[in-house]
Amino acid sequence: MSIQVHCGTTGSPKGVMITHRNLATMLSIYIRLESTNITPVLDANWNYEKEKLILFLPFYHAYGFGLINLCLLQGCTGITFKYFEPISFCKAIQDYKIHFLAVVPPVLVFLAKHPICKQYDLSSLKLLMCGAAPAGKDICEEISNKYPSIKYIQQGMMKSLQPFIRNSRSSCFAKQ
């Protein structure tokens, strides 16, 4: 059992108890959804064991905790960051040829607007999965225009339920 942070919609973060069974169920649901939502977007032969995933979201938050456990379960290489740092983040995408990024809306804003992103080759990116909060349509359109080959998935959270419980392709990006 662990207690994860859930920010919710009412301001202050709250502790949410997550049992072993809850985590196992969440990961099982995600793996099933992966075959319909992620694999078709990336590549029919896509395999986590060959992938590298940047883990910069806090592990004490349900989203970051779910991602690190997913990485362990699926056998991908996790590249951990103590915190989000723009130069290291862009350099990791470029150097490790990252295909799949799990992000939060402020990181979408960074990718869309920050001039430092132009200094790095981010062309390996194929899929952005945004969670923890919905991304606005304007920022999605900016991402779509700046990175036309990237696909997008809006991952949902339902109050204190686990991440990945609702994971659907967004119509946010016109070029899907």
**How many domains are contained in the chain?**
1
pLDDT in tens, 38-94: 777 677 777 888 889 999 998 877 788 888 888 888 899 999 999 999 999 999 999
Whether residue 15 is contained in a domain is answered as yes
Query: Please, what sign has the CA dihedral across residues 55, 58, 63, 64?
Result: positive
Percent helix, strand, coil in the chain, to 5, is: 40, 20, 40
pLDDT in tens, 100-133: 899 999 999 999 999 999 999 999 998 888 887 8
User: In CATH, what number is assigned to the domain containing residue 16?
Assistant: 3.40.50.12780
Whether residue 176 is contained in a domain is answered as no
Predicted TM-score of the model (pTM): 0.78
The residue segments making up the domain with residue 145 are 2-169
Tokens encoding 86 = 């723009």
Whether residue 94 is contained in a domain is answered as yes
Whether residue 11 is contained in a domain is answered as yes
The residues near 172 (Cβ < 8 Å, ≥ 6 apart) are 135, 137, 140, 141, 144, 152, 154
Whether residue 174 is contained in a domain is answered as no
pLDDT in tens, 151-167: 888 876 443 344 433 34
Tokens encoding 103 = 């992000």
Residue whose structure tokens are 């225009």: 145
| Mean pLDDT of the region 133-161 | 78
Q: 28-42, 80-94, 137-151, 161-175 — which is least confidently predicted?
A: 161-175
The residues near 47 (Cβ < 8 Å, ≥ 6 apart) are none
* C-beta separation of 56 from 104 below 8 A: no
* C-beta separation of 54 from 81 below 8 A: yes
